[in-house]
Structure formats: structure tokens, C-alpha cells
């Protein structure tokens, strides 16, 4: 069975949620849950101030687009393509192009689950990137944003470096 990938579907502006809910209903009615796994309209919460009152509103990150995680077949293409309000897949003419894993995480379609075996104050070794094999101390970290700031000693100076959580590991006593 081919692997499900994320595809981007273009919709009429303002129809994103309608296309998403119609597609979810169609998938359930046709029993395609093993072929079309997920449908999303990525959003973010924005705090706006109007007349001195703060209000949280939800904004679509990509207006006019819906993200669909599916196994690409003629049938799944047809089902998605014929949803009312859908104008087609993003990609050259009739062949949709799936998003790469990096694009999926960068665009906020899926959150990567990152675990760290270290915490603030721990001594760590950089295991990937241009500063590989440098040793430093964790100053700050944010697991949700996959971010860690490590202070390393370079040229006799303490230098803060921003890295991804997976680029460092806890120093072990050898």
C-alpha cells in the first residue's frame, strides 16, 4: 500500500471550511478513511486590539487552500477534485505534487513530536550542523518550536547558538 502524503487543494476564497467538512463527510460516507486520512485548514490565533479591547481571532494561514493527507489514486483524486468549492490540486495540470516532510512541518500542517533528553542548564554536545562536536550549556529551549539555545565557547568567548532540539544530545560521562 503506498504511503499517504499531504497534498494542497485550491478552493474558492472563503470556502476552505466548507470544502473541508464536505470532504470529511464524503470520506465517511464512501468508507475511504484508509485512503484519505486527514483534512486540514491551518489557522493561527491572532490577538487584535480595537477600541482598547483585546480580542482573539482565528486567521487562516493559507486562505484559499485546504491540506489533504491521502494515498494518491485515481479514485481519491476524483473524490477530492469533485468537492463543491474545490478548484483543483496544486501542481502541474492534472498531477498533484505532494508536500515534502520539511514543507509539512514548516507550514504548520503537522506538528513534529520532539523529545529532549536534556533540559536547561545541562551540558550538551552538538551532533549535527557546522558546529558538530562543540560542547555547550543549554540556556533556553522550546520543544513546541523545536528550538534550543546553547552557549558554546568559540575563540575564547561564550557564544549563544540557536539549534533544533535534535541537533544536540546530553553529554555522557565516558
Task: For residues 96 and 155, state if they share a domain.
Answer: no
| Domain residue limits at 88 | 5-106
33 shares its domain with 97: yes
Q: Are residues 102 and 153 in the same domain?
A: no
Give pLDDT tens digits for 42-61. 888 888 888 888 888 888 98
Query: pLDDT of 79-95, one tens digit each?
Result: 999 999 999 999 887 68
Q: How far apart are CA 109 and CA 5, in angstroms?
A: 12
Which three cell numbers mark 103?
514543507
121-134: burial string, b at 16+ Cβ within 10 Å, e else: ebebbbeeeebeeb
Q: What is the DSSP string of 122-138?
A: -EEEE-SSTTTT-EEEE
One domain for residues 138 and 87:
no
Would residue 113 count as lying in a domain?
Answer: no
Domain assignment of residue 117, yes or no: no
What is the CATH classification number for the domain harbouring 135?
A: 2.30.30.30
Three-state SS string over 59-111 comes to EECCCCEEEEEECCCHHHHHHHHCCCCEEEECCCCCCCCCCCHHHHHHCCCCC
- Look at residue 161 and tell me if it is in a domain: yes
Dump pLDDT digits (tens) for 100-133: 888 887 787 776 666 778 889 999 999 888 889 9
- Report the C-alpha gap between 82 and 22 in whole angstroms: 11
Structural domain tally of the chain? 2
Is residue 37 classed as helix, strand or coil in its secondary structure? Answer: strand
26 assigned to some structural domain: yes
Asked if the structure places residue 99 within a domain, the reply is yes
CATH code assigned at 37: 3.30.70.940
Amino acid at each position: 500500500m503506498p504511503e499517504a502524503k499531504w497534498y494542497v487543494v485550491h478552493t474558492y476564497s472563503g470556502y476552505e471550511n466548507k470544502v473541508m467538512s464536505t470532504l470529511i463527510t464524503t470520506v465517511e460516507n464512501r468508507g475511504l478513511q484508509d485512503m484519505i486520512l486527514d483534512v486540514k485548514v491551518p489557522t493561527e490565533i491572532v490577538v487584535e486590539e480595537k477600541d482598547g479591547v483585546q480580542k482573539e481571532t482565528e486567521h487562516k494561514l493559507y486562505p484559499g487552500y485546504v491540506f489533504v493527507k491521502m494515498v494518491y489514486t485515481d479514485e481519491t483524486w476524483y473524490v477530492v477534485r469533485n468537492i463543491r468549492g474545490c478548484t483543483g490540486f496544486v501542481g502541474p495540470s492534472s498531477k498533484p505534487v505532494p508536500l515534502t516532510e520539511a514543507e509539512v512541518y514548516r507550514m504548520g500542517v503537522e506538528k513534529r513530536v520532539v523529545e529532549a533528553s536534556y533540559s536547561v542548564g545541562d551540558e550538551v554536545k552538538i551532533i549535527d550542523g557546522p558546529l558538530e562536536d562543540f560542547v555547550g550549556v543549554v540556556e533556553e529551549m522550546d520543544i513546541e518550536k523545536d528550538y534550543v539555545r546553547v552557549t558554546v565557547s568559540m575563540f575564547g568567548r561564550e557564544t549563544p547558538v540557536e539549534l533544533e532540539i535534535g541537533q544536540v544530545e546530553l553529554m555522557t560521562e565516558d
